[in-house]
């Protein structure tokens, strides 16, 4: 898999967290809102799909893909939207959103109301791995999106999604295991987990959980002719996670640069 285009776009999103890219002020902008278990991320693109500005915040307002704090979620989305509007000098009017695969219509609507409550019209509701594929452009294989509280997967055949699943496991479980092992708070564990310098050390602690995640994916894809696994979602930033998956499942596993930003970017591309 050639991640050149995806990596180029992801790099631009990374840059857009710090500085605004040039854009045509008369054009309406596209927004992607990723309401996650661990993070809320807003990505703004121009009509040519160029990342212009992005904002993110750690928030625990969603659990297992469901909104558990409606008012808190809406407030954070509004604050991030206002920050972006201030940086851009332009109002953001519409947004696309995504939910884990298999989310009911009723629960998807709650996600929609959160974003509408923050002042944007919702133009599309996608499932998360499909949003990720707007960036990756995969024809065949399985996209595995390991977030904070959920792991979603989509099997693609000739560009069509033929199977989706969602499991209640993710980076939050890794942090809980680190917290228990080191006898530190969850917040400290999150920090250590994301520290590149300590990832080798913590990997020995979290390896069994990662192996379990791989087994879950393996069970879902059994019986399907899958030749490639593509990892996205914040948890897949973990160094060497792809090697554990490849070893456990026996299928080639790769990931793009900064898998954390793939889904929010893909959501915006569908606005």
C-beta of 150 vs 164, nearer to ligand ATP: 150
Distance CA 18, CA 223 (A): 45
Please tell me whether residue 34 binds ligand ATP under the rule CB under 6 A: yes
Out of 193, 249, 265, 268, the only residue in the binding site for ligand ATP (CB under 6 A) is: 193
Q: Which two tokens stand for residue 162?
A: 């033929």
Contacting range for ligand ATP; rule: CB under 6 A; set: 11-19, 141-149, 155-163, 214-222: 141-149
Contacting range for ligand ATP; rule: CB under 6 A; set: 19-27, 31-39, 66-74, 204-212: 31-39
Report the run of H or E that residue 122 belongs to, with start and end. strand 121-127
Please tell me whether residue 256 binds ligand ATP under the rule CB under 6 A: no
Nearest one of 232, 230, 184 to 205, comparing CA atoms: 184
Distance CA 177, CA 61 (A): 21
Out of 108, 110, 133, 235, the only residue in the binding site for ligand ATP (CB under 6 A) is: 235
Please tell me whether residue 101 binds ligand ATP under the rule CB under 6 A: no
Distance CA 65, CA 98 (A): 10
Distance between first and last Cα of the chain: 26
Nearest one of 154, 125, 128 to 141, comparing CA atoms: 154
C-beta of 47 vs 198, nearer to ligand ATP: 198
Please tell me whether residue 37 binds ligand ATP under the rule CB under 6 A: yes
> ∠ CA(64), CA(166), CA(239), 5° rounding?
85
Interface pattern 44-83 for ligand ATP (x via CB under 6 A) = ------------------x--x------------------
Please tell me whether residue 130 binds ligand ATP under the rule CB under 6 A: no
C-beta of 46 vs 64, nearer to ligand ATP: 64
Q: How many CB atoms lie within 10 A of CB 184?
A: 15
Give the DSSP letter string of 192-205.
HHH-GGGHHHHHHH
Out of 190, 202, 217, 265, the only residue in the binding site for ligand ATP (CB under 6 A) is: 190
Please tell me whether residue 3 binds ligand ATP under the rule CB under 6 A: no
C-beta of 141 vs 152, nearer to ligand ATP: 152
The residues pairing with 125 across neighbouring beta strands, listed in sequence order, are 97
Q: Which two tokens stand for residue 151?
A: 């792991």
Distance CA 129, CA 146 (A): 10
Residue 167 in contact with residue 145, Cβ under 8 Å? Answer: no
Q: How far is the CB of 174 from ligand ATP (least distance, A)?
A: 7
Please tell me whether residue 260 binds ligand ATP under the rule CB under 6 A: yes
Distance CA 271, CA 254 (A): 27
Q: How far is the CB of 116 from ligand ATP (least distance, A)?
A: 19
Residues near ligand ATP, by CB under 6 A: 34, 36-39, 62, 65, 147-150, 170-172, 190, 193-194, 233-235, 237-238, 260
């Amino acid at each position: 898999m050639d991640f050149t285009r995806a990596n180029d776009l992801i790099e631009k999103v990374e840059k857009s967290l710090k500085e605004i890219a040039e854009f045509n002020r008369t054009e309406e902008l596209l927004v992607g809102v990723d309401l996650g278990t661990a993070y809320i991320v807003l990505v703004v693109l121009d009509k040519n799909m160029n990342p212009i500005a992005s904002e993110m915040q750690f928030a625990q307002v969603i659990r297992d893909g469901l909104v558990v704090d409606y008012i808190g979620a809406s407030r954070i989305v509004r604050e991030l939207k206002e920050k972006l509007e201030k940086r851009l000098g332009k109002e953001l009017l519409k947004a696309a959103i995504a939910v884990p695969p298999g989310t009911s219509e009723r629960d998807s609507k709650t996600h929609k109301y959160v974003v509408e409550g923050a002042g944007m019209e919702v133009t599309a509701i996608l499932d998360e791995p499909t949003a990720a594929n707007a960036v990756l452009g995969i024809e065949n294989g399985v996209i595995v999106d390991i977030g904070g509280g959920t792991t979603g997967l989509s099997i693609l055949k000739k560009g069509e999604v033929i199977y989706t699943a969602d499991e209640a496991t993710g980076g939050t479980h890794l942090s809980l295991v680190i917290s228990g092992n080191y006898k530190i708070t969850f917040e400290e564990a999150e920090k250590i987990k994301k520290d590149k310098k300590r990832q080798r050390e913590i990997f020995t602690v979290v390896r069994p959980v990662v192996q379990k995640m791989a087994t879950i994916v393996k069970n879902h894809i059994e019986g399907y002719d899958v030749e490639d696994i593509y990892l996205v979602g914040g948890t897949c930033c973990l160094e060497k996670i792809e090697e554990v998956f490849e070893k456990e499942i026996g299928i080639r596993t790769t990931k793009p640069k900064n898998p954390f930003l793939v889904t929010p970017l893909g959501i915006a591309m569908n606005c």
